[in-house]
Copies of this chain bind each other. A is one copy, B any other.
Amino acid sequence: MKALVLESYNNLVYKDVPKPDFKNNEVLVQVKACGICGSDVHGMDGSTGRRNPPLIMGHEASGLIVEVGNEVQSFAKGDRVTFDSTIYALNDWYTLRGKYNLSDNRKVLGVSPKEYRQHGAFAEYVVVPEHILYRLPDSVSFEQAAMVEPVAVATHAIDLTPISLRDTVLVVGTGMIGLFLIQVLKLSNAGKIIAVDLDDKKLELAKKFGADHTFNSKTEDIQESILALTHNRGADVVFEAVGISATVKLAIENVRKGGVVTLVGNLAQQVDFPLQAVVTREIRLQGSCAIAGEYAKVLEMMEKGLIDVDSLLSAKVPLSEGASWFKRLYDKEPGLNKVVLQP
């Protein structure tokens, strides 16, 4: 089969590789669409240590089942599906507590850190175990399904966060994740939604997706504006979706006493942390990692037309052209959001 292979750092080659084998509990999926994730882009130059060549990347995918292992029970040839980006064990201490996203020895598709190499979906076919599959509703296209993953990341962060009815929620960073946070927050208990970013174009999208107020932190005094919107208290809940010192600080400064800051962004390994403010204002911070079963509800929201992924889908292009699109993303071409590759 054809695949887009990271042969060495920064070197993506579209070439023939052997079609993979599958086990009794697995299915073979003919990939129809696979999105390029920011982590793929940053990872291909070796900086994250999680994409050791040779590797077929790609974990935001959808396709058609073409073969099923003989223990597979609930899926059949011809099913239109997407699947979790993570392969996790079912009989695991964390999984059995509803937290498979933290399970031991889990593997992310299209990733190869030291411990394992799990080829992903930038290929004609990919193999996945039955228990991570999700059937696509008829009204959800393969390209849309390739964007379920980032919506599910946003949804998972919201699921982890105690939001009371009509709470004011601040979203720091309106990249892909921040914009999906806003869309999903519109369907939640949240009242007023405030968004902060450095880029006015993205803040316009934030408004379009439902933010009630947007601020550019480059040019505006955020704290005063937020106090004015919140009875002088600060936001009840903040989502940090960047992951650097400046934005973690902004998040903590703008949450009210006793409020919650959910940490999704993780660009920097280490950041400055205003400890005394966190302690004396009794703030709760909650890390949010990946997804723990949110695929089902994201697909339901998409089926109902409640999530707009199309506005963030910049290009659907053949897998064979993958290398050049990776480069455009690596070079941070302005306005280029999600790119979906089609094998």
Contact = CB atoms under 8 A, between A and B. Distances in A.
A248 B268 contact: no
Interface string A70-114: 000000000000000000001101111111111000000000000
Given A188-B189, A243-B279, A94 B258 contact: yes
A297 B243 contact: no
A5 to B, nearest CB: 26
A269 interface: yes
Interface in A280-327: 280-289, 293, 297, 300-301
Contact of A184 (B94, B165, B248): B165
Contact of A286 (B271, B284, B300): B284
A219 interface: no
Contacts of A96: 95, 98, 100, 293
A131 interface: yes
Contacts of A119: none
Contacts of A285: 278, 284-286
Contacts of A200: none
A166 B300 contact: yes
Interface string A174-187: 00000000001001
A164 interface: yes
A162 to B, nearest CB: 9
A94 to B, nearest CB: 7
Interface string A115-130: 0000000000000001
A39 B305 CA distance: 42
Interface stretch (A136-144, A201-209, A259-267): A259-267
A233 interface: yes
Contacts of A263: 275, 278-279
Nearest to A248: B275
Contacts of A286: 282, 284-285
Q: Which of A90, A188, A248, A287 has the most CB of B within 10 A?
A: A287
A165 B191 contact: no
A66 interface: no
Contacts of A266: 275-276, 279-280
A91 B92 CA distance: 12
A159 interface: yes
A197 to B, nearest CB: 19
A272 interface: yes
Contact of A101 (B98, B275, B282): B282
B278 A269 contact: no
Contact of A276 (B97, B269, B273): B269
A254 interface: no
A187 to B, nearest CB: 7
A273 B287 contact: no
A38 interface: no
4 nearest CB pairs, A to B: A273-B273, A98-B98, A90-B90, A266-B279
24 contacts: A91-B130, A97-B293, A98-B98, A99-B258, A102-B257, A102-B258, A102-B281, A102-B282, A155-B165, A166-B301, A243-B275, A248-B275, A263-B275, A263-B279, A266-B275, A269-B275, A269-B276, A270-B272, A278-B287, A279-B287, A280-B287, A280-B289, A284-B286, A285-B286
